[in-house]
Chain A
Amino acid sequence: MPGARLSAADKRVWLIIAGIVLLGALFIPLSLVLFDLRFTYTVRVVALGGAILGLLSGVLGSFAVLRQESLLGDALSHAALPGVAVAFLLAGRELSSLLVGAGIASWLGLRFLSALLHTTRIKQDTAMGIVLAAWFAAGIALLAYIQSIPDASQAGLDHFIFGQAAAIIERDVTLVSAVGLLVLLLVALFWKEFKLVTFDSEFAGANGFRIGFINAVLSTLIVVTIVLGLQLAGVILMVGMLIAPGIAARQWTHKLDQMVILAAVFGAFAGGVGAVISALDSDIPTGPMIIVVSFVLVLLSITLAPGRGLVWSRLRQRANRRRFAAINTLRDLYRYALAHGAEDYPVPDDFIRGVRARSVESGLRQLRGAGQVMALGEGWRLTEEGIAWAREDRRNQRLWDLYRLYNDELGLPVIQEDRRLDIGAVLPAAAVEQLENRLEPSETA
């Protein structure tokens, strides 16, 4: 997208991206001090592997989240386990063959799932439950069988259940990087198609895109990502690594490209940091550690993110309550005064408290602070300033009424009605003048 000018929201997203990258970089010297961690060759390999896998899961997981297929990711990662076991029995303990086996099992699960959906009336969540349970059970049974074989090489195969970063060696990182790069290239190549199919696949189909093919490519890339991450995160928790960065990233931005980049950075951070922490002690399984870090990011994002975050919407609600307390109280005072013949007619305290029981205290306090109202024995009176404001407000609201009534007849520009705004700020002066001509003589005074 051509982005010469950056909006405040865009800047914020890039700031967060830079911040997380910096934090990730700082984590290295920090962990030296805090955990007395020595950056041995093993730890460096593990950190790098975790970061690369996290980045990859962030990118593909964003699409899984947007397609509302998070649980599909969970079913597919569980479904990979029997593949690992079968591959071990057939080809021995070579990571690439184990992953190929995992991929095949997962892919078969996916095919079985869509066959269920297309040929029976079983619903998607049930079908996913079937695949997840059946494939995972087969995997556990096969692993148990393998454990019983008197052969040292099967040791550590059960790490695929919860993940074990310490098992990662340099050759694994090379493999993951090469395949990961290919996956990312394909995402870049199919960017427009993925976006269209994810948003509106019917429209994509009507425009001649082969949605079956695009969906298959995207699903395959998601499966490949899951499979690559299994050794690190394990089949049970891989789904967390997949979807958490996307969920966190979605809170900060309304643009797909920014969301995917942010998710990649979040994922790399969680993957790298989680892997390093778990490498401190071989008893800490890596999957849970990465997920803990990921969901700290998710938690921070859903509380703090502007616009969508919980803290933000609380603050906004409070600000709204305050603002409307003041405006509404002022309007009530003015209406009462006018009804009694003079704009500065004093308003009894009992009356105003009767109309606005809850918000009146805050309203009066604000108006007094702004010098728009003054206390007068048992009542309140609008000051010059308060009267000027109330008059202007009344006139503005009347002009909005007239705009709604006559914009068509007068051929005025079409604008979005927003009565918080001064109509002069959104309509050209000439148009406002036309509306003013429609005011009653008593209102123009």
Chain B
Amino acid sequence: MWTAMPDRPEPPGMDRTSEFALSVDDLTVAYQEKPAIWDIDLEVPEGVLMGIVGPNGAGKSTLIKAVLNLIPRAAGTVSFYGKPYERARSLVGYVPQRGSVDWDFPTSVIDVVTMGLYGKLGWFRRPGKRERELALFALEQVGLVDFVDRQISQLSGGQQQRSFLARALVQDAQIYFMDEPFAAVDAVTENAIVDILQALNKRGKTVLVVHHDLQTVAQYFDWVTLLNVEVIATGPTAAVFTPENLRKTYGGQVASLNGGILAGAAGG
């Protein structure tokens, strides 16, 4: 299914100064007085496919946005492959929540995907033929070739999510952050997205995914971070995704779910 991107040399910034794709140290964010995430320490090894899991209001999206410098931090440092964000930007890909944009914006699918290359183009330069080809290639990967010139308001929810994924794919990053890519998509799209994540992972990319469905955690991810304002646990799924840790994250409310989740964890 998956073929490597054509003619892409290894990005120049890849001289490794850290074995961790992402290191987060003491990260704290507060919107009002109450912190949304508090004193987060997180080390994500290269090449893992990691789920970020926690209850509503646990600060999952906040964590991603703070790591990507999109919201002000009250404290803490973040580095990618040992480098600060400013020098590691080209290594980072991002898929925001689908609901964060106005899908009635006058633009086409290929145009949205091409936006993934704007950062590499830099200020003022316009996308051209090469950018179009890269975008088409990414649309092929997500199964949206027939929708290239479609106006984005005509897409279904699943197709919108796929076009956002394609936009991240053209970024050709080393580490990807995805904010709830499975939110409100049908089963077929969910499977397609999982395939894409796993293909990325096979190519050595590090992928961090905010995820809601505890039932599928063990099946989709080989690494898990349990978050509830603080990091409850982080590490390989088999070691971390335990009933005790889940109780610590969610409180007693998951006790009734335990059976199903445990079965999944044992299988993974």
Contacts and interface: CB of A to CB of B under 8 A. Distances in A.
A198 interface: yes
A250 B124 contact: no
Interface stretch (B115-123, B222-230, B233-241, B248-256): B115-123
Given A202-B100, A259-B106, 13 more contacts: A66-B105, A66-B106, A192-B121, A193-B118, A198-B105, A199-B101, A199-B105, A203-B167, A205-B70, A206-B92, A207-B94, A207-B171, A256-B106
A205 B68 contact: yes
Given A199-B101, A206-B70, A256 B115 contact: no
Interface of A: 2, 7, 66, 68, 189-193, 195-196, 198-200, 202-209, 250, 253-256, 258-259, 414-416
A203 B105 contact: no
14 contacts: A66-B102, A191-B126, A192-B126, A195-B107, A196-B118, A199-B101, A199-B112, A200-B115, A203-B115, A205-B68, A206-B69, A255-B108, A256-B107, A259-B106
B129 interface: yes
A196 B115 contact: yes
Contacts of A205: 68-70
In the complex, the 6 A-B pairs of residues with the closest C-beta atoms, listed nearest first: A207-B119, A254-B151, A206-B94, A208-B89, A200-B101, A206-B68
Most-contacted residue by chain A among B94, B107, B127, B149 (CB, 10 A): B107
B25 to A, nearest CB: 20
A250 B105 CA distance: 9
Most-contacted residue by chain B among A205, A254, A256, A414 (CB, 10 A): A254
A61 B125 CA distance: 24
A406 to B, nearest CB: 14
Contacts, number: 82
A203 B107 contact: no
B35 interface: no
B106 A209 contact: no
B106 A254 contact: yes
Most-contacted residue by chain A among B112, B115, B151, B167 (CB, 10 A): B115
Contacts of B153: 254
Contact of B107 (A7, A190, A191, A199): A199
Contacts of A7: 149
B73 to A, nearest CB: 14
A208 B123 CA distance: 10
A200 B168 CA distance: 13
A196 B143 CA distance: 24
Given A200-B101, A206-B70, A192 B124 contact: yes
A200 B96 contact: yes
Interface in B141-161: 143, 146, 149, 151, 153
Contacts of A206: 68-70, 92, 94, 96, 177
B107 A254 contact: yes
Contacts of A414: 143
A208 B119 contact: yes
Contacts of B70: 202, 205-206
Interface string B62-76: 000100111000000
B229 to A, nearest CB: 21
Contacts of B116: 207
Nearest to A66: B105
A258 B107 CA distance: 10
A254 B107 CA distance: 6
Contacts of A200: 96, 100-101, 115
A253 B96 contact: no
Contacts of B123: 193
B118 A209 contact: yes
Contacts of A416: 146
B96 A199 contact: no
B69 A209 contact: no
A443 to B, nearest CB: 26
Contacts of B132: 2
A255 B106 contact: yes
Contacts of A190: 124
